[in-house]
Chain A
Amino acid sequence: MSKIVADNISPRGSDVTIAGVGTFSSSGVNLTGVVTATSFVGDVTGNATGLSGSPTLSGITSVSTTNLTVNGNAYPNGGPLSNRNLIINGAMQVAQRGTSSTSSDFRTVDRFYYNFGNTLAGTQSQQTLSSGTPYNEGFRNFYRFAISTPGSATSTYCQLIQGIEAQNLATSGWQYTSADSDITVSFWVRSSVAQTFYGALKSSDGTAQNYVFSFALSADTWTKVTKTIPGNTNVQIDNDNGQGAQLIIYPFMGTNYSDSSVNVDAWQAYSGSTRIPDMATDWVLTNGATFDVTGVQLEVGSVATPFEHRSYGDEFQRCCRYYQRLEGRSGQDGDICISAFYTTTNAYGPIYFPNGNMRTYPTVNIIDNAITFYYPGNADASLGFFVGGIHLERIALNVQNVSGSAGDSGFLRLLTSADVFEFSAEL
Chain B
Amino acid sequence: MYQQVRNIFGEVSQSVIKKTDSLTFIPTDPDNIDYQEYLAWLAEGNEPLPADDPS
Find out whether the CB atom of B27 lies under 8 angstroms from the CB atom of A390. Answer: yes
Find out whether the CB atom of A346 lies under 8 angstroms from the CB atom of B25. Answer: no
A169 to B21, CA, bound (A): 36
Q: Is residue A363 within 8 Å, beta carbon to beta carbon, of the partner chain?
A: yes
The count of A-to-B residue pairs whose CB atoms sit within 8 angstroms is 63
Q: A389 with B16: in contact, given A363-B25, A365-B23, A398-B7 (CB under 8 Å)?
A: yes
A128 to B34, CA, bound (A): 31
B21-55 contacts to A, CB under 8 A, are 22-27, 29, 31-35, 55
Find out whether the CB atom of B15 lies under 8 angstroms from the CB atom of A390. Answer: yes
Q: A345 with B29: in contact, given A364-B24, A368-B23, A389-B16 (CB under 8 Å)?
A: no
The 3 closest A-B pairs by CB, nearest first: A361-B27, A387-B25, A366-B23
A→B interface (CB under 8 Å): 241-242, 342, 345-346, 348, 359-368, 385-390, 395, 398, 400, 424-427
A387 to B8, CA, bound (A): 9
| Residue ID in chain A nearest B13 by CB atoms | A388
Contacts of B35 in A (CB 8 A): 363
What is the size, in residues, of chain B's interface with A at 8 Å between Cβ atoms? 20
B55, chain A: closest CB distance, angstroms? 7
Find out whether the CB atom of B16 lies under 8 angstroms from the CB atom of A390. Answer: yes
Find out whether the CB atom of A389 lies under 8 angstroms from the CB atom of B33. Answer: no
Find out whether the CB atom of B33 lies under 8 angstroms from the CB atom of A426. Answer: yes
Find out whether the CB atom of A360 lies under 8 angstroms from the CB atom of B29. Answer: yes
Q: A387 with B33: in contact, given A363-B25, A363-B26, A365-B24 (CB under 8 Å)?
A: no
Contacts of A386 in B (CB 8 A): 5-8, 25
A162, chain B: closest CB distance, angstroms? 14
> What are 13 sample pairs from A and B whose C-beta atoms fall under 8 A apart?
A342-B8, A346-B55, A361-B27, A362-B27, A362-B32, A363-B32, A365-B24, A388-B13, A390-B16, A398-B7, A424-B34, A425-B32, A426-B33
Contacts of B26 in A (CB 8 A): 363
Q: A345 with B27: in contact, given A362-B32, A388-B13, A389-B16 (CB under 8 Å)?
A: no
A388 to B25, CA, bound (A): 9
A242 to B33, CA, bound (A): 10
Contacts of A359 in B (CB 8 A): 31
A346 to B9, CA, bound (A): 11
B→A interface (CB under 8 Å): 5-8, 13, 15-16, 22-27, 29, 31-35, 55
Contacts of B5 in A (CB 8 A): 386
Find out whether the CB atom of B22 lies under 8 angstroms from the CB atom of A400. Answer: no
Find out whether the CB atom of A427 lies under 8 angstroms from the CB atom of B33. Answer: yes
Q: A360 with B32: in contact, given A368-B23, A385-B23 (CB under 8 Å)?
A: yes
Find out whether the CB atom of A387 lies under 8 angstroms from the CB atom of B16. Answer: yes
A385 to B27, CA, bound (A): 15
Contacts of A385 in B (CB 8 A): 23
| Residue ID in chain A nearest B24 by CB atoms | A365
Contacts of B31 in A (CB 8 A): 241-242, 359-361
Contacts of A342 in B (CB 8 A): 8
Contacts of B33 in A (CB 8 A): 426-427
Find out whether the CB atom of A367 lies under 8 angstroms from the CB atom of B23. Answer: yes
A368 to B25, CA, bound (A): 14
| Residue ID in chain A nearest B33 by CB atoms | A426
B22, chain A: closest CB distance, angstroms? 7
Find out whether the CB atom of B32 lies under 8 angstroms from the CB atom of A361. Answer: yes
Contacts of A363 in B (CB 8 A): 24-27, 32, 34-35
B10, chain A: closest CB distance, angstroms? 10
Q: A364-B24, A366-B25, A387-B25 provided; 18 other pairs, C-beta below 8 A? A: A241-B31, A242-B31, A346-B8, A346-B55, A360-B29, A361-B27, A361-B31, A361-B32, A363-B25, A365-B25, A368-B23, A385-B23, A386-B5, A388-B7, A390-B16, A400-B55, A425-B32, A426-B33
Find out whether the CB atom of A365 lies under 8 angstroms from the CB atom of B22. Answer: yes
Contacts of A424 in B (CB 8 A): 34
A326 to B22, CA, bound (A): 17
| Residue ID in chain B nearest A163 by CB atoms | B33
B41, chain A: closest CB distance, angstroms? 14
